[in-house]
């Protein structure tokens, strides 16, 4: 993946989890990094770790649901590095775990504001830079829940299905200008976040966490979760020349959790 060396990438939600792992893998390939998130301590800690490892990295506090923050994020990136080659739309929240009749409009709106509107705003600002240059890659991080019905998670599911439609639309809209837009749907990913999801689901279903976890594994052909590293490697592939003929595509990284 030598073609990524010297490229500039923004990773939203870059302070922890999948976003942090993508940043670490990119750093090892010589990518210049802008990490954006709302949680400043984790953001700055990750940025410091990357710098200690020799990477060029910049942390920008960003709430992707706020238009002005997204505008500032891209402008600051250009100011610091003079270019923007890759946008990874990774910021997201889990939203409530509840039946629709028990879900508030505020919870619905917040989930879509962060997961969907945030990706749309970041893509819009990035494309203002990428379009005139005639090159660039946008990678949207959706979810296995964007490929299936998933009871008790209606706001999250709606936002993640919509990200796939956004991916395909932007790919058609900007392909003639040399810009590729693709999507990853991770299945359950090892880490603190899935533990919180399992805990909330167990409580909502009045089941044990072990019951929920077993049901989750039962749906995966490989009988396991995936790792952040596996998702990060797919992100590198989809934003490198190794996938030059791919745009508008959605890649499942899910240990066979879904098969469509």
Which residues constitute the domain of residue 168?
A: 2-189+231-253
Asked, for residue 58, whether it belongs to a domain, the answer is yes
Asked, for residue 138, whether it belongs to a domain, the answer is yes
Burial class of 134 by CB neighbour count within 10 A (0 to 12, 13 to 18, 19+)? exposed
Asked, for residue 8, whether it belongs to a domain, the answer is yes
Asked, for residue 223, whether it belongs to a domain, the answer is no
| Residue 1: per-residue pLDDT | 66
| Residue 207: per-residue pLDDT | 86
The answer on pLDDT for 194 being more than 90 is: no
Asked, for residue 92, whether it belongs to a domain, the answer is yes
CA dist 5 and 38 (Å) reads 27
Tell me: the pLDDT tens digits for 84-121?
A: 999 999 999 999 999 999 999 999 999 999 999 999 99
| Residue 78: per-residue pLDDT | 98
Percent of the chain with pLDDT over 70: 100
Asked, for residue 259, whether it belongs to a domain, the answer is no
CATH number of the domain bearing residue 146: 3.40.50.720
Residue 156 among the catalytic residues: yes
DSSP string computed for 77-118:
HHHHHS---EEEE--------B-GGG--HHHHHHHHIIIIIH
Tell me: the pLDDT tens digits for 109-158?
A: 999 999 999 999 999 999 999 999 999 999 999 999 999 999 999 999 99
The answer on pLDDT for 72 being more than 80 is: yes
CA dist 150 and 147 (Å) reads 9
What's this model's pTM, rounded to 2 decimal places? 0.94
Structural domain count, the chain: 1
Asked, for residue 208, whether it belongs to a domain, the answer is no
Catalytic residue among 16, 26, 150, 156: 156
Asked, for residue 197, whether it belongs to a domain, the answer is no
């Amino acid at each position: 993946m030598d073609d990524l060396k010297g490229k500039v990438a923004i990773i939203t939600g870059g302070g922890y989890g999948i976003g942090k792992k993508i940043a670490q893998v990119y750093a090892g390939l010589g990518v210049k990094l802008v990490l954006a998130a709302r949680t400043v301590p984790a953001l700055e800690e990750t940025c410091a770790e990357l710098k200690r490892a020799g990477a060029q990295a910049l942390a920008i506090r960003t709430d992707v649901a706020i238009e002005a923050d997204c505008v500032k994020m891209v402008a600051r990136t250009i100011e610091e590095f003079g270019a923007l080659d890759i946008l990874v739309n990774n910021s997201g929240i889990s939203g409530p775990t509840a039946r629709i009749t028990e879900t508030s409009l505020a919870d619905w709106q917040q989930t879509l504001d962060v997961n969907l509107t945030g990706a749309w705003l970041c893509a819009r600002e990035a494309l203002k830079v990428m379009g005139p240059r005639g090159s660039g890659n946008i990678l949207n991080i959706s979810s296995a829940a964007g490929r299936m019905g998933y009871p008790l998670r209606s706001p999250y599911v709606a936002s993640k299905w919509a990200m796939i439609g956004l991916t395909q639309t932007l790919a058609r809209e900007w392909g003639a200008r040399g810009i590729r837009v693709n999507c990853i749907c991770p299945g359950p990913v090892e880490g603190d976040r899935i533990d919180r999801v399992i805990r909330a689901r167990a409580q909502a279903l009045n089941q044990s966490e072990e019951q929920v976890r077993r049901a989750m594994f039962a749906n995966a052909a490989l009988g396991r979760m995936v790792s952040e590293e596996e998702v990060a490697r797919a992100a590198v592939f989809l934003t490198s020349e190794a996938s030059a003929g791919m745009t508008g595509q959605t890649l499942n990284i899910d240990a066979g959790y879904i098969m469509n």
